[in-house]
A and B are shown apart, each in its own frame.
Chain A
Amino acid sequence: MTQSRSKPEKEQASAIDLSRESDAADLFAALLDTADTGLIALAPDGTICHWNQWIQSRSGKEANDVLGKALHEVFPDTKLGRVALAINDCLKFGMPAVISPSLNQGALPLRPLPQFSASFDRMEQSIRIHPIKTKRNGILCSLIIRDVTLAVQRDRLLRQQASELADLVTQTKRSEDRTRAILQNTVDAILVASDDGNIEPLNARAQELCGPTGDPELRDLIRFLLPDNEHTEIITPSPSKIITDLGTGVIEVQASTLNGRNVPLEVAISHFSADERYHYIITLRDISQRKRHEKEIQRTMQELERSNAELEQFAYAASHDLQEPLRMVSSYTQLLARRYQGQLDEAADEFIHYAVDGTQRMQRMIDDLLTLSRVGRHGKPFSPVPLDSLFDAIVTNFKRAGSAPKDNIIREGKLPMVVGDASQLLLLFQNLISNGLKYSDPQSGLVKVFASETPGSYQISVVDNGIGIDPQYHDTIFEVFKRLHGYGEYAGTGIGLAICKKIVERHGGSIEVTSVPGEGSTFSVELPKELSIVAASQSM
């Protein structure tokens, strides 16, 4: 660097007379002082023999104060370390040195320019140390110091930005990996179709179904199902391929893979726009398992229906056929009672009384059993039934029978209109009200009926203030022939609540009881506002 610097000096020298020592000295001094780098020259003994303007202003040390001193006397913290070693090598062995800012931060204690003082305590420097051989004085040593603070600052900024970018990339990659993993490990096959009819499998399952061992017709099948398929040529699939029930809105297709497996698939199609184009996302769900279950359920249902029908048939036949001999026994015991009452001894009268009572009870049980079997067998088609008028009819029935004191059956509020078999609903509520009265004090017994509503159902409650039911019996009381009391205490066949339950079930509803023994019971009947498919088909 010193050589290249000295050349133009020589050329300029023609303008001034360099042969005159003072001219040369003026020129060199001016050049050194106007340089935008720090220039220090050290004598062979290591003392400072030149200290230019630049280094004066950056170090805050005047030339007069430093000339003749060693560098470490001016900057004590450079006594040991790279700069001192390099100067030593230079003066002793004539070795040049590069002192870089990265390996030697702030090698000399120089002030940074004001604009950097906030982030830098010292100026960042790039230093070159040269041996200068002179004829008279032996080896001198020059230090050329450049301010590279701006470059260091830029480097820091660049690294900070690179680091942020790297973080962002890592984050994005992680999120992408996660999304991909989710997509790949989804049980459903996911494909994307663009409006040009191109269908691309997005995950492993889709690849499997549309790949070389999958169903070769599946893509055509999907194209056929896409809502907007005008732009592409459509191959109408064979009817056996589409097993959907269009009424339910669920699309099901049958894929036949090349390895001979038939896979029923449920198809869901959604869409999105990207790159100003319309795309469809097609989700294919393997519903083999579900289909198997559906078949299983269907078979069980048929089995149940058959066995139910058989049972009903049996109950009907049994009770119907039992009536004939019973009627015979009943008529003749009643005849015996009428004709021989008081003619035999007291014990005979008592025996005849028991026989008559027994046949009457049996008659009632057979009647009730017939009723129970008819709930399923001989139900009428469903129609709207206003429960208010039904209630009025029940109250009238009770009055006519004279079995209840006046005003002990109360309706609170309006009752709703429900859909069902009017005669069965009448039987249902009549049984419940009758039960309520039966297990209450004949004088103060009170039965209240009221309705409440949920979004999907009506709940009709029948509340009495009778003897109540122990919670342990709350489930069993709905079973056939289940009685909690002796026949002498309360009359009844033990079939009434079983009939109620069967009627409610036929209407797709439910019945339950809550009760506090000694305070009364509440029977709640919940009837759906819309009939379930099972109830509706049974009502046909």
Chain B
Amino acid sequence: MIDLSELEHDTISELINIGVGRAASSLSEMVGQPVELTVPTISFVERFSDSELAKAPTEVVSAVSQRFEGPFTGEAMLVFPEVRSLELVRSLLKVDVPLDTLTDLEQEALMEVGNIILNACLGSISNVLGEPIDCAMPTFRKRETQALLDDDTSVASSGSHPVLMILHVQFMLRQNDIDGYVLFVMDLESIQMLRDLVRRFLDNSLG
């Protein structure tokens, strides 16, 4: 289904890394402390249940999700186990009195962090491939991993089988490292379009 050459895979990885690097520098500036972001792996899976993330189906996760439309269409999501999301927000906000659950304000902060990262990834892809992408406002969801993609508005329900591009992202903060995921949920057509655009980009730049 998704046959990507090593070069194509590397290119996507590079685009994502450029975006993520930009997001990290924005975040560092905002929170006044060094924030590093890396994407150690990018993988493609056909079924969400095959992903690393789905191995703990009942774990509660926090997700910031942003739909996008353009030559390829789908939903981008920054996902953390809830505990990690609390850690992340609290280290970024330097909270001295942690409460048990994510407060409204913390949730909104997490949304902003997700927005910055997802915008940066999508922006980087869109910019380099020369194809504009329209993004919607981010939304927040909190649910068990197994229900993460159950959303009426998600492409998942549009009939066609979704394909996932999963980025494992690592936040390196002053006190600790926090692991999360960025998911790109697209239908097969969209992901093929993405591959085609990457090929075109490679042809242009190599040729």
**CB-defined contacts of B132 to chain A, threshold 8 Å:** 93-94
Contact flags (1/0) for A124-139 with B, using CB distance below 8 Å? 0010101100000000
Contact flags (1/0) for B105-118 with A, using CB distance below 8 Å? 11011011101100
CB atoms of B115 and A98 under 8 A apart: yes
CB atoms of B99 and A100 under 8 A apart: no
CB atoms of B97 and A162 under 8 A apart: yes
**CB-defined contacts of A151 to chain B, threshold 8 Å:** 104-105
Question: Is B126 part of the binding interface, using a Cβ–Cβ cutoff of 8 Å?
Answer: yes
Contact flags (1/0) for A151-173 with B, using CB distance below 8 Å? 11001001110110010000000
**In whole Å, how far is B42's beta carbon from the nearest beta carbon of chain A?**
22
CB atoms of A100 and B111 under 8 A apart: yes
Contact flags (1/0) for B41-68 with A, using CB distance below 8 Å? 0000000000000000000000000100
**In whole Å, how far is B34's beta carbon from the nearest beta carbon of chain A?**
16
CB atoms of B112 and A166 under 8 A apart: no
**CB-defined contacts of B96 to chain A, threshold 8 Å:** 159, 163
CA distance A85 to B152 in the complex (A): 32
**In whole Å, how far is A332's beta carbon from the nearest beta carbon of chain B?**
112
Question: Is A416 part of the binding interface, using a Cβ–Cβ cutoff of 8 Å?
Answer: no
Report B15-45 residues with CB < 8 Å from chain A CB.
26, 29-31
**CB-defined contacts of A97 to chain B, threshold 8 Å:** 112, 115-116, 119
Contact flags (1/0) for A1-24 with B, using CB distance below 8 Å? 100000000000000000000000
**In whole Å, how far is B73's beta carbon from the nearest beta carbon of chain A?**
15
CB atoms of B30 and A94 under 8 A apart: no
Question: Is A109 part of the binding interface, using a Cβ–Cβ cutoff of 8 Å?
Answer: no
> Taking A85-B26, A93-B126, A100-B112 as contacts, is the C-beta distance between A1 and B137 under 8 angstroms?
yes
Chain A: residues with Cβ within 8 Å of the partner, total of: 31
CA distance A94 to B127 in the complex (A): 11
**CB-defined contacts of B29 to chain A, threshold 8 Å:** 81
Contact flags (1/0) for A88-100 with B, using CB distance below 8 Å? 0100011111111
Question: Is A401 part of the binding interface, using a Cβ–Cβ cutoff of 8 Å?
Answer: no
CA distance A95 to B124 in the complex (A): 11
Question: Is B92 part of the binding interface, using a Cβ–Cβ cutoff of 8 Å?
Answer: yes
**In whole Å, how far is A111's beta carbon from the nearest beta carbon of chain B?**
21
Question: Is B162 part of the binding interface, using a Cβ–Cβ cutoff of 8 Å?
Answer: no
CB atoms of A98 and B105 under 8 A apart: no
CA distance A126 to B93 in the complex (A): 16
CA distance A202 to B188 in the complex (A): 69
User: A89's contact among B99, B112, B119, by CB below 8 Å, is which?
Assistant: B119
Question: Is A101 part of the binding interface, using a Cβ–Cβ cutoff of 8 Å?
Answer: yes
User: B137's contact among A85, A89, A104, A130, by CB below 8 Å, is which?
Assistant: A130
CB atoms of B127 and A93 under 8 A apart: yes
CA distance A104 to B92 in the complex (A): 12
CB atoms of B26 and A95 under 8 A apart: no
CB atoms of A96 and B99 under 8 A apart: no
CB atoms of B135 and A82 under 8 A apart: no
CB atoms of B92 and A98 under 8 A apart: no
Question: Is B196 part of the binding interface, using a Cβ–Cβ cutoff of 8 Å?
Answer: no
**In whole Å, how far is A138's beta carbon from the nearest beta carbon of chain B?**
12
CB atoms of B105 and A155 under 8 A apart: yes
CB atoms of B26 and A82 under 8 A apart: yes
**In whole Å, how far is A128's beta carbon from the nearest beta carbon of chain B?**
6
Report B69-126 residues with CB < 8 Å from chain A CB.
89, 92-93, 95-97, 99, 103-106, 108-109, 111-113, 115-116, 119, 122-123, 126
CA distance A495 to B76 in the complex (A): 115
The chain A residues found within 8 Å of chain B, CB to CB, are 1, 81-82, 85, 89, 93-104, 126, 128, 130-131, 148, 151-152, 155, 158-160, 162-163, 166
What 8 additional pairs, Cβ within 8 angstroms, besides A93-B133, A100-B111, A148-B105?
A93-B126, A95-B135, A96-B115, A96-B138, A98-B111, A102-B93, A152-B105, A155-B104
Instruction: Sort A-B residue pairs by CB-CB distance and give the 6 closest, nearest first.
Output: A102-B109, A100-B108, A100-B112, A159-B97, A163-B97, A100-B109
Name 22 A/B residue pairs within 8 A (Cβ), A-sorted: A82-B26, A89-B119, A93-B126, A94-B133, A95-B123, A97-B116, A97-B119, A98-B111, A101-B105, A101-B108, A102-B89, A102-B93, A102-B106, A103-B31, A103-B92, A104-B30, A130-B137, A131-B134, A158-B103, A159-B99, A162-B97, A163-B96
